[in-house]
Amino acid sequence: MDISVRRLCKEFDRYPALNGVSLEVGSGELIALLGPSGSGKTTLLRLIAGLEFPTSGSIYFGKEDASQKSVQERNVGFVFQHYALFRHMTVIDNISFGLRVRGRRNRPSDAAIRKRASDLLDLIQLPNVANRFPHQLSGGQRQRVALARALAIEPRVLLLDEPFGALDAKVRKELRRWLRELHERTGHTTIFVTHDQEEAMEMSDRVVVMSQGRIEQVGTPDEIYDRPASPFVFSFIGDSGELAVTIDRGEVFLDGRSLGPLAEGLPDGRARMFLRPHDLEITDDPAGAISGEVATVRRHAATRRIEIAVGEKRQRIEVAVPATRGFVPEGTQTFRPVRCRLFPAN
Amino acid sequence: MVSAVLPKLKEPSVIPGFGTTLGFTLFYLSAIVLIPLGALVLRAAGLGLSEFLTLAGDPRTLAALKLSFLASLAAASINAVFGLLVAWVLVRYDFFGRRLIDAIIDLPFALPTAVAGIALTSLYAPNGWIGGVLEPLGLKVAYTPIGVVVALTFVGLPFVVRTVEPVLRDLDREVEEASATLGAGRLATVTRVVLPALLPALLTGYALALARAIGEYGSVIFIAGNIPYVSEIAPLLIVIRLEEYNYAAATAVAAEMLAIAFLMLLAINLIQAYSRRRFGHAA
């Protein structure tokens, strides 16, 4: 089922949580809504589910306008961060709940419900917990049961709100891989909310980066990381440093020294230069290089992170060098920007 | 043998003073609850079995006990339903005067029960505001068992509201939302998801309201009319026997009340323990 969100706005007590958001989700896609807290990502998910109603704008499920349909009519699978399992019911009763509450006409037979529930238990690889209660399960198991419960109703779309947020790092990693595999097998259109960029980049086909109730960028993980569309995306995704520079006829100046013609096509004036730690190389050639005083050196997995203070304003940026170099720089070093990204300052 | 048991108590604990607090608790419970009740049981035991059975089997006593327990059960049941409703409204809706109503709930706790009894009597008497309306319909409240139920309902209401309210407030809204996304309508969500979660608290409130109703005296005697075999409650009968210096009969009624009340509360507690174990409410 493809989903189309059109100019969606939502206000809570006149406070805008979502400002005219439009988004197209293709059938079978796995989409991450990524952003800091307060960016509107959960609001967008809840609007799609029908747990909230938009102030304006519309939501289409396929060709059908779902905007004014109730949550019960939308037939979505929703998974909550804190599982929201029914704790007075066994696992099997939790999973069959969605089928059992159906009207007599649409309700499958008892045998069919039991079959479906036990198939789902196999799918979530927990065939032996059918008669346990939720409080007897671990967090990761509970979240899998919550997912099975959502899948039981054969939802048109699967919506997950920070599904791994309450789990510890190791379980989170396992579940991520498992969910990705499950998605490949079942092919549900899936939208999940996260504030963890690693999770978004690792799991999704496309990432929607949100900030302050707007979509900043929609793209594949590669596009988001390599070609950030805005200063916000650049600084939010991955490690990055920022330098204040000026542009004059395509040439970039840092404290009056030229860094070369890096800014073709950009307007003259003040600009913000964004660099990732891997975008800088140590060099001996001072022409077009950034020089700075080494402030700290830290080990970071397979690299050494050197923090340097650049120019009169002592702007801090990080540089990554391979740890194998055994190189502990001191004093002033020069670095050549291999890649960078410039945005006009406003 | 002693040394085999003691170390368990001596085990170092994060919270100090286990021995002291346990000792105090036992002393306190004994002084306040166990010794008076023990004296009662002892006194009843001193009657001898045949005399006790004769006194306990007295038709007037049995009628009073039957009224006391049936009216208390009825009142607690009414409170369970409507107290839940009141708690629901207070927790789930925000409206003008909510805090005032919230404060009013506690009034039956604070009001001298005699005052409540007199007020209820004057309202429900045939010439009272409500009684005057009900009388032509053939419904007599004051001076009948219905009056007893009315008074007991009045004094028991806060127990149910105050036990259900915090649990309802802490109830995870996400669970209800989950139910809705799974296709359950509002009615199904309330009956299958919300009420089972409230059940332990509701049972506690029910037990408290029931216990209070069984022991209630002040408010009932005014509205009941106290007609033997019809609207005379057991606590009143005890007082009547005392006034007749018939201590043996008073003791017999009291012992019977104690036994029945204990069994009822024990049953409720067992149901609660069962549901708690089963549904993991202990956490």
Determine contact: A71 vs chain B, CB below 8 A. Answer: yes
Share of chain B above pLDDT 70, in %: 93
**CB spacing of A80 vs B278 below 8 angstroms:** no
**CB spacing of B180 vs A72 below 8 angstroms:** yes
Tokens representing A266? 């950009």
Q: Write down the H helix ranges in A187-236.
A: 197-203, 221-226, 231-236
Determine contact: B22 vs chain A, CB below 8 A. Answer: no
**What is chain B's mean pLDDT, rounded?**
88
For residue A80, give the DSSP letter: -
Nearest to A12 by CA among A50, A52, A39: A52
Cα A151 from chain centroid (whole Å): 22
pLDDT at B283: 39
Q: Which residues of chain B from 162 to 191 reach within 8 Å of chain A, CB to CB?
A: 172, 174-175, 177-185, 188
In this prediction, residues B97-125 reach a mean pLDDT of 89
Determine contact: A78 vs chain B, CB below 8 A. Answer: yes
pLDDT at A346: 74
Question: For chain A, how many residues are written?
Answer: 346
**CB spacing of B279 vs A87 below 8 angstroms:** yes
Nearest to B88 by CA among B76, B77, B80, B97: B80
Chain A residues within an 8 Å CB radius of B177: 51, 71, 78, 80, 84
Tokens representing A324? 């194998």
Chain B residues within an 8 Å CB radius of A80: 174, 177-178
Q: Measure CB to CB from residue B181 to each of A71, A133, A136 and give the nearest one.
A: A71
**CB spacing of B283 vs A135 below 8 angstroms:** yes
| Å between B196 CA and nearest CA of chain A | 7
Element spanning A48, H or E? helix A41-49
Residue B146 has pLDDT above 50, yes or no: yes
A215/A125 Cα distance (integer angstroms) = 36
ipTM: 0.86
Determine contact: B85 vs chain A, CB below 8 A. Answer: no
Q: Are B118 and B142 within 8 A, CB to CB? A: no
pLDDT at B3: 46
Element spanning A309, H or E? strand A303-310
B226/B33 Cα distance (integer angstroms) = 29
Q: Are A49 and A74 within 8 A, CB to CB? A: yes
Q: State the amino acid at position A293 in one-letter form.
A: E
Give, for all 346 residues of chain A, the pLDDT tens digit.
Answer: 899 999 999 999 888 899 999 999 999 999 999 999 989 999 999 999 999 999 999 999 999 999 889 999 999 999 999 999 998 899 999 999 999 999 888 899 999 999 999 999 999 989 999 999 999 999 999 999 999 999 999 999 999 999 998 888 888 888 899 899 989 988 899 999 999 999 999 999 999 999 999 999 999 999 999 899 999 999 999 888 899 999 988 889 888 888 888 888 888 889 999 999 988 888 888 888 888 888 888 888 888 888 889 888 888 898 888 887 766 667 888 888 888 889 988 7
Chain A residues within an 8 Å CB radius of B94: none
| Domains of chain A, each with CATH number or no CATH | 3-233 (3.40.50.300), 239-344 (2.40.50.140)
- The DSSP-derived string for chain B is -HHHHHHHHHS--SS--HHHHHHHHHHHHIIIIIHHHHHHHHHHHTT-HHHHHHHHT-HHHHHHHHHHHHHHHHHHHHHHHHHHHHHHHHHH---TTHHHHHHHHTHHHHS-HHHHHHHHHHHHSTTSHHHHHHGGGT---TTSHHHHHHHHHHHHHHHHHHHHHHHHHHS-HHHHHHHHHTT--HHHHIIIIIHHHHHHHHHHHHHHHHHHHHH--HHHHHHH---TTTT--HHHHHHHHHHTT-HHHHHHHHHHHHHHHHHHHHHHHHHHHHHHHHHTTT-
- Sign of the Cα pseudo-torsion (B11, B16, B20, B23, in order): negative
* Interstrand relation of A251-254 and A241-248 (parallel, antiparallel or unpaired): antiparallel
Determine contact: A115 vs chain B, CB below 8 A. Answer: no
- Phi and psi at residue A129, to the nearest 5°: -105, 10
Burial pattern B108-119, b for ≥16 Cβ within 10 A else e, equals beebebeebbeb
| Å between A16 CA and nearest CA of chain B | 23
Long-range contacts of A260-263 (CB under 8 A, 24+ apart): A260/A288, A262/A337, A262/A340, A262/A342, A263/A342
In this prediction, residues B174-198 reach a mean pLDDT of 92
Residue B8 has pLDDT above 80, yes or no: no
Cα of first residue to Cα of last residue in chain B, in angstroms, is: 35
Long-range contacts of B58-64 (CB under 8 A, 24+ apart): B58/B249, B59/B229, B60/B228, B60/B229, B60/B232, B60/B237, B61/B234, B61/B237, B61/B249, B61/B252, B61/B253, B61/B256, B63/B228, B63/B229, B63/B230, B63/B232, B64/B228, B64/B232, B64/B233, B64/B234, B64/B236, B64/B237, B64/B253
Q: In this predicted model, which residue has the larger pLDDT, B11 or B3? A: B11
| Å between B271 CA and nearest CA of chain A | 14
Determine contact: A84 vs chain B, CB below 8 A. Answer: yes
Q: Are A241 and A273 within 8 A, CB to CB? A: no
For domain B55-276, give the fold: MetI-like fold (1.10.3720)
Nearest CA in chain B to A94: B179
**CB spacing of B175 vs A49 below 8 angstroms:** no
Tokens representing B126? 């045939």
A216/A211 Cα distance (integer angstroms) = 6
A143/B136 Cα distance (integer angstroms) = 62
pLDDT at B140: 86
Q: Measure CB to CB from residue B175 to each of A71, A86, A101 and give the nearest one.
A: A86
- Phi and psi at residue A341, to the nearest 5°: -135, 130
Q: Radius of gyration over alpha carbons of chain B, in Å? A: 23
Q: Are B203 and B272 within 8 A, CB to CB? A: yes
A166/A140 Cα distance (integer angstroms) = 9
**Residue spans per domain, chain B:** 55-276
| Å between A88 CA and nearest CA of chain B | 5
Q: Which residues of chain A from 124 to 183 reach within 8 Å of chain B, CB to CB?
A: 133-136, 146, 149-150, 152-153
pLDDT at B5: 47
Nearest CA in chain B to A87: B279
Q: State the amino acid at position A148 in one-letter form.
A: A
Most confidently modeled range among A280-284, A320-324, B141-145, B159-163: B159-163
Tokens representing B201? 């608290």
Nearest to A77 by CA among A168, A166, A218, A183: A183
Residues B21-78: tens digit of each pLDDT: 899 999 999 988 889 888 888 888 888 888 888 888 889 999 999 999 999 999 999 9
A23/A217 Cα distance (integer angstroms) = 10
B42/B137 Cα distance (integer angstroms) = 50
